[in-house]
Amino acid sequence: MSMLKITLPDGSEKQVEPGTTPLDIARSIGEGLARQTVAARVDGRLVDANASIEGDAAVQLVTLNTPEGLEIYRHSSAHLMAHAVKELFGTEVQVTIGPAIENGFYYDFYSESHTFSPEEFETIERKMADLAKENLSIERQELSRDEAIALFRGMGETYKVQLIEDLGEPMVSVYRQGSFVDLCRGPHLPSTGMLKAFKLTSVAGAYWRGNEHNAMLQRLYATAFPDKKELKQYLHRLEEAKKRDHRKLGRELDLFSFSDEAGAGLVIWHPKGAMLRTLIEDFERREHLKRGYDIVQGPQILRTELWKTSGHFDNYRENMYFTEVDEQSYGVKPMNCLAHMLIYKSKRRSYRDLPLRYFELGTVHRHEKSGVLHGLLRVRGFTQDDAHILCTPEQLDGEIKNVLKFVQDVMGIFGFEYELEISTRPEKSIGSDEAWELATNALKNALDDTGLPYEVNEGDGAFYGPKIDIKLKDALDRRWQCATIQCDFTLPERFDLTYVGSDGEKHRPVMVHRVILGAIERFIGVLIEHFAGNFPLWISPVQVRVVNVTDNQADYAAQVCDELRQAGVRVQVDLRNEKLGFKIREAQMEKVPYMLVIGDQEMAAGTVAPRHRSGESLEPMTPADFVHFLEEECRQYH
C-alpha cells in the first residue's frame, strides 16, 4: 500500500496510510491537540475531523481556540438543541434551520400546537446535557436528492424537504447523531461528548425565510462555549448588557420615547435626551470647523430624477420613501451626498479650491422593515454627521488619512477602542472595474501607511464604492458599526463634476463620503450602554442638582442654582419638602454627576457641599470655585 504525503502548515511532512483522518493526524502529534481538533482544512476545503484523506494533501487542523473552530462547536450545539427538542416534543415540532451566530446560535422550529416559553429552557438544557453525556458519534452521510427528500418526508419534516428542493443539487449531506438526522453542509464535531457548556437565552418569532408572507416560526436563541468558565463569564456580560440596555435606561433617565401614534422607528426626544443630542452635535460642529470643513445643508426631498442619476433609484429604492409635489415625483433623502454634489456644481471649480469638505448634520429617512427596528440602534428617521470631501486624485490619500486621524481623536475623547475592516464591491453596484480598483487600493494604501490593522469584508461595500468600516468596542467588548469612510470615483462621473487643473483642462474630482459618529441616534444608543447612563460630566444633560435640607435654605439654594446657570452649568434645583436622603438617592438613580447639599452651615458660610453620584463627598467650596472645578473636569475630555 502506497503511503500518502501530508503537508502541515509549518512545512513539515508526514507519511500516512490512505483513509487517515485529520483526527488521526492530530493524535499522532499529541493527545492534547486531538482533544482540541474539531475539523480540518484539506487542500483548503473544510472537512470533518473524522473525514478520510485519500490522497496527498496539505492539512491544517481547526481547533476549538480559533474563531472557525468555535463556530463549528456552536453549530454542533444547535444540532444538539434541535435533537433535544425533537426528543422532548416529537412530531409536535418541525425543525427548519439552525446556524451559528456571533456569541452563540439559534434554531427555528415550526409548531401548530406548542409554544415555547423560557420556563422550558431548563428542561431542554437537561436533555441536551443527557445527549452530550451519551457521547453520540456525529456522522456525515451523502444522499441523492431523491433519497434525502424521501427521508425527511417520511419523518414529516416538510421544511427540510423544501430546503432540499430549493437547493436543486443532485447530492446533499446529512448528519446523524443517535436518532436525530439533520440536513447540513457541515462540518461538525466528531461526537456530542465534546459539547460541555451551553445555555438557552431567549425565544422570539421569525418568519420562514425572513418573508412576512410565510409561516411564523419560533426561534430559540442559545449560546455555547468550550468550558463552563467561559460560559459563566459570557452570561455575566449578558446580564450586565440587560442592565445597560439603552431602551431601559432611556425610559428611566427620561431621554427619549417611541409612540405607535407617531409611527414605528421614529424617535421622540425628551428634554434631557434632546440636550444630550445637542451637546454631541455642538461638539461635532466645533471639531469639523477646526479641521477645515464647511457647514452646509440640503433639502429633505429631491426630485426622483436626481435619485435615478445617482443610481439610488435602481440600487436603493426599496429603502426609500417617495412623494409627489405638483405632479412631480420626489424622493425623501436616505443620504446627503446629492445636495453636496449640487453645491459643488453650483459654480466653476479650480484645483486651487480643492479639497472642499462639506459637512452636514443631515436628517435622513430609510424604510427599514419593522422586524429589524431596535430602539435607537435601528430607526427609520435619523441624523448623520455626514460629510463629503471632493478632492483631486493626488489629494485622496491625505484626505483618507485625515479622516482616520479624525476618527482616532474623537473615539479617544469618548473612550472607545475600535477595529477596522475594508468592505469591497458588492454584487449590486455601479461604476467600472477600474474605478472600483482605484478606490479600493486608495483605502488599503492609506491603512497600510498608517500601520492600522484591518480585515477585508468581501462584497459588503456601498453600491457606489468600497468603504472602511470602523467598529467601536464598548465597555462589554461588543462591536458597533458607526464610523465609515467611502471612496467614490463613480458619482462624480455620473453628476459630471469637474475642476480645472493646473494644465487648464477639465478633470474629474474624487469624492470621499464619511461619517465619524455615524447616525447620532445609534451613537447615543451605544453611548448610553457604554457608560451605563453614567455620562461624563461634559455631556451629562444635567450636570448638577442643588438640594436643600429644609425650607430655611430654599432661597439660598435657588440663588446658587441661578449663579451656576449663569456660569453655563446645566443645573436643576430640588426644593421639594422631602427627606434629604430621598432627594440624594433620586438624583443618584437619575445618574446626575454632582449634588450640591445646602444646609444652614453652607448658607451661613456662602458655600456648597458637593457630593459625587458615586457617593464621594468633597470639601465645601464657594459656588465660583465649584464652577471652576467643573470646568477643569470637562477640560480633560476635550
Active-site residues: which are they? 337, 366, 384, 386, 388, 467, 513
**Burial class of residue 510 in the structure, from the number of CB atoms within 10 Å of its CB (0-12 exposed, 13-18 middle, 19+ buried):** buried
**Grid cell digits, residue 437:** 480598483
What secondary structure does DSSP assign to 51-109, as a single string? Answer: --B-S-EEEEEEETTSHHHHHHHHHHHHHHHHHHHHHHHGGG-EE----EETTEEEEEE
| Cα distance between residue 204 and residue 211, in whole Å | 15
Question: 514 vs 122, 230, 465, 487, CA distance in Å?
Answer: 47, 38, 12, 9
Grid cell 425543525 in the structure block, residue: 95
| Cα distance between residue 306 and residue 494, in whole Å | 10
Which residue(s) pair with 175 in the sheet? Answer: 140, 182
Residues 6 or more apart whose Cβ sits within 8 Å of residue 457:
421, 422, 423, 424, 469
| Cα distance between residue 519 and residue 304, in whole Å | 24
Q: How many residues does the chain have?
A: 638
| Cα distance between residue 258 and residue 267, in whole Å | 6
Residue 11 zone, left/alpha/beta (φ > 0; ψ -120 to 50; rest): left
> Do you find a cis peptide bond into 541, omega within 30 degrees of 0?
no
Q: Which runs of consecutive H residues, i.e. helices, occur in 540-636? A: 554-566, 580-589, 600-605, 623-635
**Grid cell digits, residue 180:** 436525530
Q: What three-state secondary structure class fits 112? A: coil
DSSP state at residue 621: B
Question: 525 vs 213, 401, 528, CA distance in Å?
Answer: 31, 28, 5
Contact 195, 132 (CB under 8 A): yes
Identify residue 140 by its one-letter amino acid code.
R
The H helix count followed by the E strand count for the chain is 20, 32
Question: 8 vs 3, 167, 353, CA distance in Å?
Answer: 16, 34, 57
DSSP state at residue 318: G
| Cα distance between residue 36 and residue 496, in whole Å | 58
| Cα distance between residue 474 and residue 39, in whole Å | 32
Pick from 454, 451, 428: which is nearest to 440 by CA? 454
